[in-house]
Structure 1
Amino acid sequence: MSSPTSDVTVPPTGPAAAPSRALPNGLAAFLVFFASGAVLVLETAALRLVGPYVGVTLQVTSSVIGIALAAIAYGAWAGGWLADRRDPRTLIAPALVLAGITTAVTLPVVRYAGEVLRGGAASAILLLVALAVFVPAMLLSAVTPLVVKLQLADLRRTGQVVGRLSSIGTLGAVTATLVTGFVLVAALPSTVILLGLAVSLGLTGLGVGGWLRRQHDTALPGPARTRAALAVLGLVGAGLTTVAPTPCDIETAYHCARVESDPDRSSGRTLLLNSAQHSYVDLADPTYLEYAYTKWIGAVADVSAPAGRRVDALHLGGGGFTVPRYLTATRPGTDNVVFEIDGGLVELGERKLGVRQGPDLRAVVGDARMLVAGEGTDTRDLVVGDAFGHLVVPWHLATREMAADIRRVTRPGGVYVQNVIDYPPQRFIRSELATVGAEFGNVALIAPPGALAGTDGANFLIVASDAPLPLAAIQTRLAQVDPAAALMSGAALDDFVGEALVLTDDYAPVDQLLATA
């Protein structure tokens, strides 16, 4: 009688060698690292690609992240499904080549679609982001499960293989995020980044496909005619990029910027950031103020100190440097220090907007929150807050802690003015008034009557000081420069603010307060 276990095959105890048809470990690691990293390059560049049409707000950023994650999820699922039904060696190269082609096509598609969807609602934002990200990111995300399937040679090492390749993919994503954010975006336009990514993907796919053919006699799927058509599609996409409408004269590290001449005023120039009007300057007349809110700032500055007396002014946000130029022209000897986060805008201003740095104007490149913290106490007569990310005041510049630092910097009797954009139901401007009022003892508000009535979206100008404000003088000057403007203060302002939330570093939902729905 035989033993009960005599017919059972005992598996070998030593490690099993990977089958000859698996990819070399180095190549497998490279493919996962490269494909995962390419997704994050695409995601970061896509934010800049769609920004000129729909802005760079929390909703847009959330849409880019959400659409990219959805593409990764669907791509990983599709790649795993295909890996169980087809030889993964026949799919890796096509996935990379197709990802390169769709990345190239993304540029003209987004630019033409962006002109149609410009400034649209949430659905327009999601659609434009999907056009920019979804298909190439999904194709790239299919690469990892294809590679993993090939490398699973020994079931006893499944966890090790999957864990190693998963960590390599994550490292690729982290590396690409840091390199793109710190190096590529600062050095190259988004067009160059995306076209370079498209070419890299295409060449990598062709190279991997050629190697597999030599090693395993594995051909790319589909007839030669199909492959030729795909190549032509990629070339057409790249070609269309050269004729697709572009909203930028230059791309800085933060903005798509363009300067337009005013057809009705030969010396007038308009600065557009991400296609939104940001500043207007008159190269020949620095005292000319085109936009209503700049007239309001000028009016407050005109009565904040005796006429013609120099002031020490601090500007949070430079843009076209309209107000610093105005103060220099109306108050010779004024010291203007401008904190501007975008060094590219400073250079653009010097080239095209008549900005001249010298004893009366110094531009400091950096984040205003950090730079204000380094300013001396009681050093400024006038602080002008005019920093925006697209049409939104950055949240960290809108909190009580920021207002407290500005109050510290402002001399007794000095004035702080802050430009805010809001729309009905005007939750943000009410909260910002409550926030500034929590630090400054005297606050007033300048805006069009329709905006104060809650029917219109508009610019609002908060005026604040520790000392009583010269309200009568401000009202008189406003009547001269912009008769349509209204000044609100006292009990009427208290009623307008109501029980609005005071924003803090711990809780400042600026984007949500600005939502109109």
Structure 2
Amino acid sequence: MTNSSSSPAAEDATHSSGLGPRVAAVLVFGSSAAVLVVEIVALRLLAPYLGLTLETSTTVIGIALTAIAAGSWLGGRVADLVNPRRLIGPSLGVSGAVVALTPAVLRAAAELAPVLLLLIASLTILVPGALLAAVTPIVTKLRLTSLAETGTVVGRLSGVGTVGAIFGTVLTGFVLVSRLPVSGILLGLGALLVVGAALVEWHTRRWSGTPALALVVVAGGLATAVAPGNCDTETKYHCAQVVADPDRDSGRTLVLDGLRHSYVDVDDPTFLEFEYVRAIASVVDATFPEGEPLVAHHLGGGGLTLPRYLSATRPGTRSLVSEIDSGVVRVNRDRLGLRASSGIDVRAEDGRLGLRRLDADSRDLVVGDAFGGVSVPWHLTTSEAMHDVRRVLDKDGLYVANLIDHGEMAFARAEVATLGEVFEHVALVGRPADIGLDPTATAKGGNLVVLASDRPVDLRATQEELDTRQPGWKTSTGDDLSDWIDGARPLTDDYAPVDQLLQPSSPRSTQ
């Protein structure tokens, strides 16, 4: 009597037929690259709602790694139980459909059901990530025909998958994000995955779900077009919007990732809407003679409110701005009326690197107003960065910076302590409760302005300017400031847990 069932070895040989080494390499390379594209773009999609913080990045990376681990384990397990050739098409196709739906689903959830955003975001990364990660063990199963070549096959495909992940990372970070909106990247990737599923289906003739998934991709594109939360412009770093002020015809608010970063009056640059900008202007005008032109450097650009103000009130002022996002620079020129003759030179560069390029004793004023979400980029807060600021300032120069903190003000205390180690004179400007001058009141948090110099700052003149422009804000220095700092540990390049020191806050504004 003949046994009609085939042996595992014979079945494996059957599985491997028709799947050559090049096809296997393409499948593993492409699926591994796609996982990293999804991971990086997910960070961009979530930034407007969760902030671009270390915690957000850590969460997304952790979810992506969980998806890879789960997909690899389950893919290998299922490949041992089911004919692996039946699994590749569905894995590619379903992941493509989910990826294409991700922009619309995440943006709708953020607006309509924000409490579910993290759960939905996790699923939009976990599902396609796990399905794509499963492709490698499935293909490995198909390529294994004998134990003698196990090491070669597994090692080769593992290497190909790693190269694919590197390719996906570099392609997304250096090419795709700078040229395409994130929704377009995901829709395009979803379409490519469904096309890949169709090719596999045509090759195997065992699965026929591609037409339905193609319709899902189309639906994802249509849903993305009408989903809430669309940007005016998607830059390399931000979802940017310019919102007109209904109460002031020439007023414009620059919104980055849902946060009000800058207010610009395109006809009257001396009009300052945000409290902290008025405070910075008060400090500058109290420190330098009225109308005197300055040579200034600005760490962070946003809407360039202060450089415009200096240009208007101090003719001849030269402001060099380090703004890392070239897209924000374009918004200033195209939507916010920045003129080439304004004396403002904006460079698309990192602020720390921009500082290094400046000559010593070359600036009267350095302004720190760079933010990623609601936190200062950590490498612009450290003692080493402040020593570079001090290097470029002349002997009478002034450093003034916008800080945001809440709760116990742990970050602001640490930053003021850091400045105290670098400069001879440091003062803090803010609401009395926030800077420790009114112990009977509860600190609300928000914006603080810190100033530092190697020459004494005229605090009386500063307070007079504040009383005129920003009533209620006070200046703290000396023993009062030391008591407020309360032994906070200064920040260094080796120790700068800025995101952890910052307290969570609800306001969606940097002012």
Question: Please, what TM-score do these two structures have when normalized by structure 2?
Answer: 0.92
**Post-superposition offset of 1:351:** 0.9
Partner of residue 181, structure 1: 173
2:428 corresponds to 1:445 = yes
**Post-superposition offset of 1:229:** 4.6
Instruction: Using the TM superposition, name which of 204-213 and 108-117 deviates more.
Output: 108-117
**Post-superposition offset of 1:20:** 5.6
Q: C-alpha distance in 2, partners of 1:289/1:145?
A: 60
Answer whether contact 1:80 1:142 (CA < 8 A) is retained: yes
Q: Which runs of 4+ in 1 moved over 6 A?
A: 16-19
Answer whether contact 1:53 1:117 (CA < 8 A) is retained: no
Which amino acid letter does the alignment assign opposite residue 149 of structure 2? R
Partner of residue 143, structure 1: 135
2:79 corresponds to 1:76 = no
Q: C-alpha distance in 2, partners of 1:297/1:373?
A: 24
Change (3 A) 1:117 1:376: farther
Counterpart among 189, 203, 208 of residue 197 in structure 1: 189
2:417 corresponds to 1:434 = yes
**Post-superposition offset of 1:254:** 1.0
Answer whether contact 1:318 1:340 (CA < 8 A) is retained: yes
Q: C-alpha distance in 1, partners of 2:110/2:95?
A: 21
Cα deviation 1:458-511 (Å, max 9, x = unaligned)? 111101110011100000000000102121111100000111111111111111
Answer whether contact 2:16 2:142 (CA < 8 A) is retained: no
Partner of residue 59, structure 1: 55
Answer whether contact 2:72 2:133 (CA < 8 A) is retained: yes
Output aligned runs, 1:369-380, within 5 Å: 369-380=352-363
Which amino acid letter does the alignment assign opposite residue 56 of structure 1? L
Which amino acid letter does the alignment assign opposite residue 115 of structure 1? E
Which amino acid letter does the alignment assign opposite residue 136 of structure 1? P
Q: C-alpha distance in 2, partners of 1:103/1:78?
A: 20
**Post-superposition offset of 1:512:** 0.9
Answer whether contact 2:308 2:342 (CA < 8 A) is retained: no
Change (3 A) 1:152 1:276: same
Partner of residue 452, structure 2: 464
Partner of residue 216, structure 1: none
**Post-superposition offset of 1:341:** 0.8
Q: Secondary structure at the match of 2:316?
A: coil
2:162 corresponds to 1:170 = yes
Cα deviation 1:237-275 (Å, max 9, x = unaligned)? 232111111341001111110000001111100000001
Counterpart among 492, 498, 511 of residue 480 in structure 2: 492
2:509 corresponds to 1:513 = no
Answer whether contact 1:479 1:485 (CA < 8 A) is retained: yes
**Post-superposition offset of 1:233:** 3.3
Output aligned runs, 1:234-249, within 5 Å: 234-249=217-232
Change (3 A) 1:18 1:158: farther
Change (3 A) 1:492 1:128: farther
Change (3 A) 1:386 1:511: same
2:195 corresponds to 1:209 = no
Output aligned runs, 1:341-380, within 5 Å: 341-358=324-341, 360-380=343-363
Answer whether contact 2:396 2:454 (CA < 8 A) is retained: yes
2:489 corresponds to 1:501 = yes
Cα deviation 1:322-357 (Å, max 9, x = unaligned)? 000101111111111111111111111011112112
Counterpart among 152, 157, 172 of residue 160 in structure 1: 152
Q: Secondary structure at the match of 1:281?
A: strand
Q: Secondary structure at the match of 1:84?
A: helix
Partner of residue 383, structure 2: 400
Partner of residue 233, structure 2: 250
Which amino acid letter does the alignment assign opposite residue 235 of structure 1? V
**Post-superposition offset of 1:452:** 2.4
**Post-superposition offset of 1:231:** 4.2
Q: C-alpha distance in 2, partners of 1:507/1:192?
A: 38
Which amino acid letter does the alignment assign opposite residue 135 of structure 2? V
Change (3 A) 1:359 1:245: closer
Q: C-alpha distance in 2, partners of 1:20/1:70?
A: 29
Partner of residue 257, structure 2: 274
Q: C-alpha distance in 2, partners of 1:262/1:317?
A: 23
Cα deviation 1:178-212 (Å, max 9, x = unaligned)? 11100111111101100000000000110111012
* Structure 2: runs of 5 or more not aligned: 1-11, 437-441, 506-511
Q: Secondary structure at the match of 1:449?
A: coil
**Post-superposition offset of 1:116:** 4.0
Partner of residue 283, structure 1: 266
**Post-superposition offset of 1:58:** 0.5
**Post-superposition offset of 1:234:** 3.5
* Structure 1: runs of 5 or more not aligned: 1-15, 214-218
Partner of residue 480, structure 1: 468
Q: C-alpha distance in 2, partners of 1:319/1:287?
A: 16
Instruction: Using the TM superposition, name which of 126-135 and 55-64 deviates more.
Output: 126-135
Partner of residue 387, structure 1: 370
Q: Secondary structure at the match of 1:208?
A: helix
Answer whether contact 2:84 2:142 (CA < 8 A) is retained: yes
Change (3 A) 1:197 1:229: closer
Change (3 A) 1:257 1:19: closer
Q: C-alpha distance in 1, partners of 2:339/2:279?
A: 24
Q: C-alpha distance in 2, partners of 1:487/1:114?
A: 39
Change (3 A) 1:486 1:247: farther
Change (3 A) 1:20 1:257: closer
Partner of residue 112, structure 1: 108
Answer whether contact 2:387 2:422 (CA < 8 A) is retained: yes
Change (3 A) 1:487 1:20: closer
Answer whether contact 1:22 1:151 (CA < 8 A) is retained: no
Which amino acid letter does the alignment assign opposite residue 191 of structure 1? S
CA RMSD, 1 decimal: 1.8
Identity %: 48
Q: C-alpha distance in 2, partners of 1:227/1:359?
A: 56
